């Protein structure tokens, strides 16, 4: 599901930091070791509106982003779908991370998420 400018504003409530990927075929070094919620996204420019157009490909939560990104099981599929940004929200509380993850999966229905999140 693509999200437009109104969704970007919606995401600001969680203060996501955006990491742009330089796709070189090598593992990305320098990921934070912090816990949080991560989203694999593809950014494209909408030429009709001149606003950014994002596709959320995957949403997850982790206790350590650096460790999670080392051999992530969704990395190859995400790269094949044009993954070029990682959005990361720092969150230390595990219950809060899981709540945010479910909320984002429910909202965006990312194609690379295998679990089903019921609407209630």
CATH code for the domain in which residue 53 is found: 3.40.1440
Give the total number of structural domains in the chain: 1
Q: Taking a C-beta distance cutoff of 8 angstroms, is the pair 44, 22 a contact? A: no
Dihedral sign for Cα 72, 4, 92, 23, please.
positive
pLDDT in tens, 75-88: 899 999 999 889 89
pLDDT in tens, 24-68: 555 556 788 999 999 999 988 777 777 777 789 999 999 999 999
Separation of alpha carbons 68 and 62, rounded Å: 7
Please give the average per-residue pLDDT across 106-110, as a whole number.
89
Residue 78: inside a domain: yes
Q: Taking Cα atoms as reference points, which of 59, 49, 71, 52 lies closest to residue 16? A: 59
Residue 118: inside a domain: no
Mean pLDDT over the full length of the chain:
81
Helix (H, G, I), strand (E, B) or coil at 3: strand
Separation of alpha carbons 30 and 14, rounded Å: 22
In this prediction, residue 60 carries a pLDDT of: 96
Residue 116: inside a domain: no
Residue 13: inside a domain: yes
Better-predicted residue by pLDDT, 49 or 6: 49
Please give the average per-residue pLDDT across 102-108, as a whole number.
89
Residue 71: inside a domain: yes
Residue 43: inside a domain: yes
For residue 35 the two structure tokens come to 């816990």
Separation of alpha carbons 66 and 83, rounded Å: 18
Residue 68: inside a domain: yes
Residue 38: inside a domain: yes
Which domain covers residue 41, as residue numbers? 2-23+32-108
């Amino acid at each position: 599901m693509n999200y437009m400018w109104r969704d970007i504003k919606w995401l600001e409530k969680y203060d996501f930091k955006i990491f742009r990927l330089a796709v070189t075929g090598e593992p990305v070094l320098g990921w934070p070791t912090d816990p949080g919620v991560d989203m694999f996204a593809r950014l494209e420019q909408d030429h009709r509106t001149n606003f950014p157009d994002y596709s959320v490909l995957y949403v997850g939560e982790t206790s350590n982003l650096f460790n999670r990104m080392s051999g992530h099981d969704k990395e190859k599929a995400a790269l094949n779908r044009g993954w070029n940004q990682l959005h990361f929200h720092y969150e230390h509380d595990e219950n809060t991370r899981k709540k945010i993850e479910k909320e984002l999966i429910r909202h965006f229905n990312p194609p690379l998420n295998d679990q089903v999140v019921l609407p209630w």
